Structure 1
Amino acid sequence: MFKTPKNDTVVSVYEPVEFPVEDHEDLALNLDVINLAKQQARKELPSSNASLPDANEVNFTNIIKTKLTQAVNSVDQSTSNLKDEINSLSVSKELSHAKEMSKEFERDISSKLMSRVKELEQKKEDLNYAEDDLNQFKKKHGLRRSADYPLSHWLTVGILLMALIFEAFMNGMFFSKGSDEGLVGGIIYATLIAIINIGIGFIFGWWLLRYKNHCSKFISLASILSFTILMIIPFIFNLLIGHYREALVIAPDNAHNIAITSFKQGMLSISDINSWLLFTIGMMFCFLAIYKGYGFDDAYPGYGKISRRKDNLEEELLDDRESMLDELDDIHSDYLESLDQIYDNVVIKEKQLSNLCSAFDHQNRILKGYKSHLNNNIEYVINLYRDTNESERETTSPNYFISREVPHIGDIHLDIKYTDKQESIRQDKEQLAVLLPGIRNAMLSSKEEYQTKIDKIYKS
């Protein structure tokens, strides 16, 4: 996805280099101005016809000028980072990224959604075939209603499982009375019997009985006759179980043979009430399994399967459409957020540049103020030196004493320079502000184009 340029540089908090304001009198004391002036006066120096300052004045001036030189060097060093930040600051990347964002957005959604669009087209084609198959099936079998089948089989499975457990437990209690293994052995036998009993009932209801609804009279009649005849199987099976349970009480070691012999002599010759109860429970759960098997799918054989295929494809198609539209919205939102972030970065850099330039100019003003202060120091020290010398000497002081002219520090120039790009960045920001609506509209158009394409496939 399109990467938003990050502004990793925070606005600099520049601490300007401050310079100490030295009191004139303290400076004169440190330079020993008065004593040096008196020493020269006792020697009647400088001479009356001297036209240039003596060595002491030159030394005072040089000492103070040295302080300014040190200050300039200190400022040059401290503003070097400022200069680097100012000169390196640029919004050209942000501007070029913004200009390319609409094209990048279109490429991004194309790369991420094109394969899914093809899958959606294939799924829609499958759905159309499934609808054709369903319509042909309904026409062939004379069906006008919609298929009626449970959306979930968990309830049916749960009921049958509970029935199996209940039947196994009840039968297990009956079988345990004639089993060497007791209740555990009885439950094991009963579980196997319950699985067979409920399984037969479920198959009869799910497969055989539903064919009674077939449009073919022959198939419908065959289904009813087959079901009626085959119901003898669970009837006989449960009677045999009743005979077997009764035989277990009489002779556990030979229960199988006794049960078969008793059944042959008379199917209904069971005399034990518990064995009849066992038969009744077995038939009840067999009929329950038939009922749940019959309702496991649509009553018309094959209709539920073919209708369910169409419904599942329809649901998958809708889910895929919603998922693609959501993804398209997310991508679009991310790009809009990235576009806003680009503009915010430009605004931050503009403020950052303004702060950096202000800090640089402020440092210059501090340095110029310090230069003015040093000039005042020179003027005070030189005048004090001359006044003291003049008052202590007997000869006439030099003419340059009378003129009160003192040396001054000339103009200062920082070695560190920067390129003022404030106007350029301001223009770039204004250009970006003008471009933003067009970029947003271009991305919205690309998004709507894909939305239309997706909806067209879905509705076709």
Structure 2
Amino acid sequence: MRRNLRDLDAEQQSFRRKHKIDRTARVHGGGATFLKVALLIVMFVVEAFANGNFLAKGNEQGLLGGVTEAISFAALNIFGTFIIGHFGVKQIAHNSVVRKCLGVLAFCVYLVFALGLNLALAHYRDVSAQLLDGGGDRVMQAMAATPFQLRDINSWLFFGLGLLFSVVALIDSLTFSDAYPGYADVQQRLEDGRDAYRNRRAELDENLKDVRDEYQEKMEDISRDLSVRRGEYEAIVANRSRMLKLFTQHQDHLERAANALISVYREANAKARKAPPPPRFATAFSLAKVSVEANTDGEWSLRDLRSRIEQIQAMLTAEVKEIHTAYQTTMDEYQQLDDIVPEPGVGDGSKQA
């Protein structure tokens, strides 16, 4: 796409040198083009309706018949003028003498076409007001004998309105695009190429940003998850130690409770005896305690775990920086396209090597 853009720019530069043009082409946007086309359509509709009102005089089908006849004349007057102006009269601006002569010839053709067509319409209006049949022959006779003699002032108004619309259509055709023939097309292709290149660059940039942000978010999630898991692990280890201590304390409590019960029994027993109590009454009860230890085989110490997690989080931070570096490197490579494949007259040619 970058090479294509360079070729398009070279084409424009070559066109300007060849035709000795020292300005940019005047390319209208979509809004301006729409307005110009809309103007032609509005004039066509207005003239067709106006002509239909005039030609309805004497037409046996009335307004509908007049409008039907007027549509063809309005199309010739508006769109015929536009075609002659856009493809013919514009050649006057060309540097070539032959093209200039063709443009002058086209302008002469336009004058004959516009005057002849609108005079014929005016005469047709004069004739249609008096005859229902044979109007075409009378128009041809009047055009050959007295082309500028009209009986009715409305016919002159008819002629002036058609000629005005024709002139406006001619101006619209000359300003529809750049005045120099073909220059607007070259400029439009260049601008389309630039837009396509910029849009593709923007799309790739956005994709890169999405990839960068996605991986950055994943690594940040992993780092946060490690911190959470470390806290959970420390809580589990602490709770396990607490449970072991509670179990040892519970066994001591059971032993004390047993001795308290036994002492109550022995005291009652000793009071009830006539003989001395046995020697064992002086010995305290000893519970056979169970020794419980946590199996820590394969477990990480808290210090090692903290150290390892800190190393991993440092690695993740370095990877995030690496992702940003890779992103910036790729963006710089995109920018280098403008140096490796520069547009004509832009950048140092030595960079192309």
Q: TM-score, normalised by structure 1?
A: 0.66
- Are the structure 2 counterparts of residues 262 and 349 from structure 1 closer, same or farther at C-alpha, using a change threshold of 3 Å? same
| 1:200–1:234 Cα contact (<8 Å) kept | no
Equivalent of 1:244, from 124, 142, 147?
124
Q: How many residues align?
A: 337
Equivalent of 1:408, from 284, 287, 290?
287
Question: Are 2:215 and 1:315 equivalent residues in the alignment?
Answer: no
- Are the structure 2 counterparts of residues 184 and 350 from structure 1 closer, same or farther at C-alpha, using a change threshold of 3 Å? farther
Rounded to whole Å, the distance in 2 between the matches of 1:190 and 1:297 is 29
| 1:177 Cα deviation after fit | 3.9
| 1:205–1:290 Cα contact (<8 Å) kept | yes
Rounded to whole Å, the distance in 1 between the matches of 2:249 and 2:144 is 129
| 2:244–2:292 Cα contact (<8 Å) kept | no
- Are the structure 2 counterparts of residues 380 and 129 from structure 1 closer, same or farther at C-alpha, using a change threshold of 3 Å? same
| 1:357–1:420 Cα contact (<8 Å) kept | no
Equivalent of 1:452, from 332, 337, 349?
332
CA shift digits 1:78-102 (9 cap, x unpaired): xxxxxxxxxxxxxxxxxxxxxxxxx
1:25-44 residue pairs with structure 2 within 5 A? Answer: none
- Are the structure 2 counterparts of residues 253 and 351 from structure 1 closer, same or farther at C-alpha, using a change threshold of 3 Å? farther
Equivalent of 1:141, from 3, 12, 19?
19
- Are the structure 2 counterparts of residues 289 and 370 from structure 1 closer, same or farther at C-alpha, using a change threshold of 3 Å? same
- Are the structure 2 counterparts of residues 375 and 200 from structure 1 closer, same or farther at C-alpha, using a change threshold of 3 Å? same
Correspondence for 2:248: 368
- Structure 1: stretches of 5+ with no match in the other structure: 1-122
| 1:254 Cα deviation after fit | 4.7
1:108-127 residue pairs with structure 2 within 5 A? Answer: 123-127=1-5
Correspondence for 2:148: 268
**Which structure has the bigger radius of gyration?**
1
Correspondence for 1:294: 174
Question: Are 2:299 and 1:398 equivalent residues in the alignment?
Answer: no
RMSD: 2.6
CA shift digits 1:236-279 (9 cap, x unpaired): 22222222333333234554444444444432333122222222
Correspondence for 1:75: none
| 1:287 Cα deviation after fit | 0.9
CA shift digits 1:50-95 (9 cap, x unpaired): xxxxxxxxxxxxxxxxxxxxxxxxxxxxxxxxxxxxxxxxxxxxxx
Correspondence for 1:77: none
Rounded to whole Å, the distance in 1 between the matches of 2:52 and 2:234 is 92
Rounded to whole Å, the distance in 2 between the matches of 1:170 and 1:456 is 62
- Are the structure 2 counterparts of residues 410 and 295 from structure 1 closer, same or farther at C-alpha, using a change threshold of 3 Å? same
SS in 2 for 1:145: coil
- The code of the aligned residue for 2:292 comes to H
- Are the structure 2 counterparts of residues 434 and 256 from structure 1 closer, same or farther at C-alpha, using a change threshold of 3 Å? same
| 1:419 Cα deviation after fit | 5.5
Rounded to whole Å, the distance in 2 between the matches of 1:192 and 1:456 is 58
Question: Are 2:224 and 1:344 equivalent residues in the alignment?
Answer: yes
Rounded to whole Å, the distance in 2 between the matches of 1:394 and 1:277 is 155
- Are the structure 2 counterparts of residues 359 and 226 from structure 1 closer, same or farther at C-alpha, using a change threshold of 3 Å? same
Rounded to whole Å, the distance in 2 between the matches of 1:391 and 1:187 is 139
Rounded to whole Å, the distance in 2 between the matches of 1:354 and 1:195 is 89
- The code of the aligned residue for 2:20 comes to G
Rounded to whole Å, the distance in 1 between the matches of 2:239 and 2:66 is 96
SS in 1 for 2:29: coil
Correspondence for 2:306: 426
Rounded to whole Å, the distance in 1 between the matches of 2:290 and 2:100 is 117
Equivalent of 2:104, from 224, 233, 238?
224
Farther off after superposition, 194-203 or 220-229 = 220-229
Rounded to whole Å, the distance in 2 between the matches of 1:242 and 1:256 is 12
Question: Are 2:43 and 1:159 equivalent residues in the alignment?
Answer: no
Equivalent of 1:284, from 161, 164, 174?
164
- The code of the aligned residue for 1:150 comes to H
Rounded to whole Å, the distance in 2 between the matches of 1:424 and 1:235 is 101
| 1:134–1:310 Cα contact (<8 Å) kept | yes
- The code of the aligned residue for 1:146 comes to T
SS in 2 for 1:411: coil
Rounded to whole Å, the distance in 1 between the matches of 2:112 and 2:35 is 28
Correspondence for 2:320: 440
| 1:175–1:248 Cα contact (<8 Å) kept | yes
| 1:284 Cα deviation after fit | 0.8
SS in 1 for 2:225: helix
Correspondence for 1:11: none
| 1:411 Cα deviation after fit | 2.3
- Structure 2: stretches of 5+ with no match in the other structure: 343-353
| 2:27–2:187 Cα contact (<8 Å) kept | no
SS in 2 for 1:267: coil
SS in 2 for 1:250: coil
Rounded to whole Å, the distance in 2 between the matches of 1:173 and 1:157 is 25
SS in 2 for 1:194: helix
CA shift digits 1:368-411 (9 cap, x unpaired): 3332322222122222222222222333322211x142131412
CA shift digits 1:331-385 (9 cap, x unpaired): 2233222222221111111111112222333333333333232222212222222
Correspondence for 1:197: 77
Question: Are 2:54 and 1:174 equivalent residues in the alignment?
Answer: yes
Rounded to whole Å, the distance in 1 between the matches of 2:49 and 2:149 is 25
Rounded to whole Å, the distance in 2 between the matches of 1:206 and 1:394 is 143
